[in-house]
Every structure is written in structure tokens, then in C-alpha cells.
Chains A and B, each alone.
Chain A
Amino acid sequence: MSEKKYSKEHEWVTIEGDVATIGITRHAAEMLGDVVFVELPEKGKNVEKEGQAGVVESTKAASDVYTPITGEITDTNQSIVDDPGAVNKDPEGAAWFFKIKIKNKSELDQLMSKADYDKFAKENPN
């Protein structure tokens, strides 16, 4: 599996072959607070980079989840739909959101390293 990369919309991405696994960062989960609802895209749906591809809700508000990668949704993590609290417990591991068959590998170059993301998140807390 590739090194984890990060987007400015607070998603993380790992790559295996031509499939990207995407979730929200620990920082994003902390900012949201207790996650109580998750909505995921349907399998087979084509999504565009920076397009909406899910919803997370805390007790306070609903937030869109964006995809940092263009492609087709090949799998979604139903376990976080059944237990939304898992997103707070292990946001960058077991609580991944969806997998995408990557259409355009050059999009990966626009993502940040962990060090760059940590700096970005510190400067852009929301």
C-alpha cells in the first residue's frame, strides 16, 4: 500500500494498484465531534474530484464529504453507516469511507504529504 496522502478538504487517500481508499482525517473527525450519521455514495457511481461523495453528521451539523480523486466508486464501508461512532475511534484506519477506481493518476500529485497536511490543518483548523 502507498504512503498516505492528504487533501485540503481533510480527506486521506491510500493507493493499492489503481484503487484509492478514502476517509476523513483524524483532525476532521476531531473538529466534527461525535459522528452520529454517515451517508456514503452508491457503488458504481462516478464521482469527480472535489465533488460531494457522502455526508457526515455530528449532533451539531451536517458536513459534506468530498472526493479528492475522480473515478468510479467500487466499494463503501457499511460498518460506519451502522456504527457512525467508529469514525471518531479510528478515522484513518477501520473507518475508511469508500474506494475509488482511479481515472486520472495525475490527481494524486496534487495531494499533500502528512507533514504538509499537519501544517495545513494547523493553519486552517476548520
Chain B
Amino acid sequence: MEIQKTALYDYHKSLGAKFVPFAGYEMPVQYSSGIVDEHKITRNGAGMFDVSHMGQLLIEGNESLATELEKIIPIDLKKIQLNQSKYSFLTNEEGGIYDDLILTKVEKGFNIILNAACKNNDFKIISSSLKNKFKITLHKNLSLIALQGPKSSQILEKIINGISSLKFMNGNKFYYKGKDVYITRSGYTGEDGFEISITNEFVEDLAKELISHGVKPIGLGARDTLRLEAGLCLYGHDINESTSPIEANLKWAISKRRREEGGFVGYKKIKSDLNGSLNRLRVGIKPDGKIIAREGVKIFSEDGKEIGSITSGTFGPSVNGPIAMGYVKLNFSKPGTKVSLEVRGKKHEAKVSKLPFYKKNYVR
């Protein structure tokens, strides 16, 4: 399949982007100032991410749609409020994860943001589960911009009136140049911020206006260091079709009623994980020294037994040191547990760490 480009491709190029292929798209990995600088700009100012490669799915329907969707997504869709967003996932029969997602209740039904690499498969899964009873649209005419960082709100308010009153994990319809845009206060960096869904036709105008207000463009490289410092999972690495949400330490994302009642695909495994058969857990791992442990690095106990492996690892610019996440056997998952990491044939000391590595307060 031919590699795709987002509507902002030429604009990224003019901003000095270096591109990499990602999930079938030619995406900016960084701009001229580099990943560490872009990371710090997002932590201290405001950064703009083009995440238009991600899937924007609209499913139209009312209560009967909520009932059907609850069979494949473990959110309490009876309790969700209009314009409220929730993090969740599509589970499979074995209790693994097909994709993680953000669902927002909108007037017409539900908006779902999906990972780029998974979106076409997700569409098939959701369509077949809903058996053509509801209208499903995977938008091709919409772009998605994430504006992230402590200065996001004051800057965006100058361009789009009223956004500063949004609460974290809530959205609403706003106007930009007289056109509808849907904005949620959310993101994937551990910072306050917004995700703006806007037509391809107007996205460059908005991007240029953000840049003219001092926002800097940020690539996928810094997106990865930011999300890892924030302890957030990257699909295909930290979670996949063989990790259950309970193993992935995402129990919080399944509401109490759904944990108790089930009624969704893969509940059998999830229930047994909840009831004591859990044997591994996703944890943070902090190397004692400077060594960077990347995906696939084996984790050992103090007495030399293999107890798991790393699923993501990098250098955290705000932590100013190496950070990682991985799965360990349950009895080694307590923060502070000493472990060792085998990198290039040598063992390096590390400790299980609380997540996130870096924490800020969201606007609630």
C-alpha cells in the first residue's frame, strides 16, 4: 500500500520536519531543534502534534447503541455524560487488547479515537459486532491536532473562544472561522492540553495560527518520551492482543459495574485476573545508572531468575535519566524491588518504580 500523508505534510516540511514512516503514514519524527528540546517545550510551554493519522470514528445511535457497544468496550456507557471522554480498549476473546482508545459521548452517538496502525481492523471488528444496525464513519476528511503543555489553554483561548472552561476529559463543539470544530481537553503527554478535530481544509490555517502564537511543532520522537514519562502505554509495545488490561495495570479504566457484571468480550480472562490468577503486571522500571533498556531487554530478580521483559524504554528528558516499562511476575511488582536488566550481554541494576515517572496536575 502506498504511504499516506496527512493534510499538514507540506506544512511540516516547511517547518523543517524529519519524516519517518509510521503506521502507513509519512510522519514528522522531529523538527530541527531535536527531540529533547521538543520534549521540554511541551513540558514548559505549548507543543503542537499532528495526530491526523489516528482514526476518528463516529458511531451514530442512542441507548440501544450503548448497550451493543458495551459488549466490546468495557466502559460504563449508561453513566457516561454528554461530551465526557473515557480511556478504554477493544478487548478480544482471550481478554487481550485489540486497541486502546478514547471514547467521547456526543449528541449523535459516540466518537472514538483509534490508533493509526489498528484503525482499519478496529473498524471491521466494531462493524461486525454492531451488525450494520448503526451508521459508522471512519472520517477521512478530518484532521486531528493535539495541543499539549501548560500554556495550551491560554494560547488556544486567544484563537477559539471558550475552550479554557473545558474540564479534563471533557469535550465540546466550538467554532473556528465560523466552522464547527470538536475539541476535547485531553492528550497523551502527561500535560494539560487539547485535541482538536477539524476538517482537512482548515487544519493548516489553525496550525499556522497556533505557531504564530508561539506554539512549537513536536514530532513523534518527543511524543514517545513524553508519554513514557507519563507512564502511558504505547499500543503494540506495552499492550497488545496478548496482554489483558489487568496485567497492563489498566484496571482503573474498567468501571466498577463492568468489572463486576462483565458482559463484554474477554471478560472470563479479565475476571480471573481480578480474582487472583493474575501472574504478571506492567510496572515502571528505573535503571540505577545511565543505561537505556529498550523493548525486549530481559528483567532478572536479585537472585538471577528471569522475571519479565521491557516493553518500552528511553531517556526521559524531564526525569533526566533512563526510564522504562515492562512486565514482571506479580511478586516482583512492588515499587522499590531491586531487579537487573540485561543490556548487550551485561547486567545492570534497576528498580521497579511507581508510574508515572513525571506527574503534573490536570485541570479538573
Contacts and interface: CB of A to CB of B under 8 A. Distances in A.
Interface residues of A, number: 14
Given A33-B30, A33-B34, A33-B35, A59 B294 contact: no
Given A33-B34, A37-B290, A37-B292, A59 B344 contact: no
A60 to B, nearest CB: 6
Contacts of B290: 37, 81, 84
Contacts of A61: 294
Interface in B291-315: 291-292, 294, 314-315
B294 A62 contact: yes
Interface residues of B, number: 20
B36 A34 contact: yes
Contacts of B45: none
A33 B315 contact: no
Contacts of A58: 35
A53 to B, nearest CB: 13
A37 B292 CA distance: 7
A60 B221 contact: yes
B139 to A, nearest CB: 30
Contacts of B69: none
Given A36-B322, A60-B35, A62-B294, 15 more contacts: A33-B35, A33-B221, A34-B34, A36-B292, A36-B315, A37-B292, A37-B315, A37-B322, A39-B344, A58-B35, A59-B36, A59-B224, A60-B29, A60-B314, A81-B290
Interface string A48-74: 000000010111111000000000000
B225 interface: yes
Interface in B205-232: 221-222, 224-225
A62 B133 CA distance: 49
A95 B294 CA distance: 25
Contacts of B314: 59-60
A55 B291 CA distance: 11
B35 A59 contact: yes
Interface string B97-126: 000000000000000000000000000000
Interface string B2-36: 00000000000000000000000000011000111
Contact of B315 (A39, A55, A57, A81): A57
B292 A62 contact: yes
Interface of A: 33-34, 36-37, 39, 55, 57-62, 81, 84
Nearest to A31: B18
A115 to B, nearest CB: 26
Contacts of A60: 29, 35, 221, 314
A62 B290 CA distance: 13
B322 A59 contact: no
B318 to A, nearest CB: 12
Nearest to A82: B290
B12 to A, nearest CB: 17
Nearest to B20: A60
B35 A55 contact: no
A55 B344 contact: yes
Contacts of A36: 36, 292, 315, 322
Nearest to B291: A37
Interface string B30-47: 100011110100000000
Contacts of B315: 36-37, 57, 59
A10 B299 CA distance: 33
